[in-house]
Structure 1
């Protein structure tokens, strides 16, 4: 079994630096190359050589991390899989189901792992909520309210020409900032049977939404709401409220803050947790703990042959829900 895993990072923006830092913190893993159409090196790791394409890399590497803008995720994944390299893709997996299905298919054909960085599934109390739901300890869940009320200033949208565009970003806060939590929503409750939405652009001069809400109807009878925004100053930690026949749970920034479930003690009372990056007012990530967990899980999948926790097929559902929100406006 190969001991060291060498990575090439596709893309050289802010999130690429986050992955380089996370990989650098993991034993027996290292970044050996960066792929950039501008032959740009990483801001924090200028010693890592840059190449124009994956085919140009003249060093041994086992896997890639796809950190390009959303529209091009499938391009990097397909290029890597064709070379027999495993793929870890930044969220969302892509912005169209056609592109997603193609990258999943090519990775399978070439027998490489495809994982997606929805690291909130690992974060703080989120795995505990999943266990409680799957073991039916919460009773009948009839209402869920998810609010991802972030703020991004004009500098964020002006920092790159693709930001705030349908063609490359794929949309606004639903597919960008709220994507992590829509993945959690799916992981917990499944895909809505039907939904209706209303989106608008209120604060920024962009072509996509900067605020909106959706009402989700599930075959279980559960009614959910999802609000996503980059217009809500000053920006707030993501919040999910779960109401069931046995009581309620409120989770803020992945931590249970309110608990009242009949006959069940809060399983996190004796647990010390570290607040994860909120993303409420900035895209910059200082703490890479959750990214490291995703990367370790991905490395384990490469070495053992097991599936990563977040497969391409699993990550596809978040984009499907988001596209349904975009296509179900009234």
Structure 2
């Protein structure tokens, strides 16, 4: 009989409900409690015991899932690791290099696992493209344009006091809405050797950017762009365009929508309408398939004593790119 891993969720906002839904579909995982400063359970599992701190929990548990605002991730991770509990963290890992390094170090020193939810790596056609790049099947790639043009109205930023703040939210759409795709970008192509950017705030009363563009240069010679926004009405699917010596491909919301590569058939098995997220105002996550995949991997990693698919060191790379975008503005 498989061991059941008992999780505590830290935080009770929208994303906590995503994990409640995901874990309800995993046989050897269970949520036994929630930590919330407001002593509030996620709406999808209201009967959970609630505590204000991990150290006050009187129920046996093995691991935590951190669903607090990004700039507070390290607080809960450090507290959990000192209690010898494994840590699964919502993206991004955190918003400063020091916080991320502290998380990685204390988890390692206390011999607990640190996993991060960059689940889009395993969505739709994304693993297929990764394999083709690894096998050099796409030819010499010289240009990639990543565009995450979302729309968020004032209600989104007013929904929580931390939204749109530098210290707690970590920034605007680059660290928030585009973080998954910047992780995907790094997974495919690695970190740029040089980044220059231009960011601005056009439509919201917030501390950070609501629109910007980065130019990324790689050792291979690639010249790429990353655009991130929350002001592009009405909101558009996330798009990645890849141009190479063999042709081009375009992906929208992780699905190949255009393909013209010499001597290479379109490998997609997805319907172009199978993923219809538009980038509009909602921040809710309804499909938990890929969360389930990563949580299953994390549970098995705990049981078998192995590193999770996406650990702290791996997840940190996307944040390093984002921090360079923020620091290298002209």
Could you say whether these structures have the same fold, taking a TM-score greater than 0.5 normalized by the shorter chain as the test?
Answer: yes
Aligned to 1:166: 166
Pairing of 1:275-314 with structure 2 (within 5 A) = 275=275, 277=277, 279-314=279-314
Displacement of 1:269 after TM fit?
A: 4.6
- 2:94 aligned counterpart, secondary structure: coil
In 2, are the aligned partners of 1:124 and 1:276 still within 8 Å (CA)? no
Aligned to 1:77: 77
Unaligned runs of 5+ in 1: none
In 1, are the aligned partners of 2:179 and 2:318 still within 8 Å (CA)? yes
Matched, 1:223 2:230: no
Aligned to 1:67: 67
Distance 1:269 1:296, change over 3 A: closer
CA deviation profile, 1:91-136 (whole Å, cap 9, x unmatched): 0000001110110011111111111000000101000110000111
Unaligned runs of 5+ in 2: none
Q: TM-score, normalised by structure 1?
A: 0.97
Displacement of 1:2 after TM fit?
A: 5.5
Aligned to 2:319: 319
- 2:260 aligned counterpart, secondary structure: strand
Displacement of 1:280 after TM fit?
A: 3.9
- 2:92 aligned counterpart, secondary structure: coil
Q: TM-score, normalised by structure 2?
A: 0.97
CA deviation profile, 1:276-327 (whole Å, cap 9, x unmatched): 7554431011111111111111112111222211110011011110010001
- 1:215 aligned counterpart, secondary structure: strand
Count of residue pairs the alignment pairs up: 330
Aligned to 1:266: 266
- 1:32 aligned counterpart, secondary structure: strand
Matches of 2:276 and 2:19, distance apart in 1 = 16
In 1, are the aligned partners of 2:146 and 2:226 still within 8 Å (CA)? yes
Aligned to 1:213: 213
The RMSD of aligned alpha carbons is: 1.5
Aligned to 1:18: 18
- 2:65 aligned counterpart, secondary structure: strand
Matches of 2:272 and 2:299, distance apart in 1 = 27
Matches of 2:215 and 2:272, distance apart in 1 = 34
Aligned to 1:237: 237
Displacement of 1:7 after TM fit?
A: 0.5
In 2, are the aligned partners of 1:35 and 1:50 still within 8 Å (CA)? yes
In 2, are the aligned partners of 1:93 and 1:100 still within 8 Å (CA)? yes
In 2, are the aligned partners of 1:88 and 1:114 still within 8 Å (CA)? yes
Pairing of 1:247-266 with structure 2 (within 5 A) = 247-266=247-266
In 2, are the aligned partners of 1:277 and 1:286 still within 8 Å (CA)? no
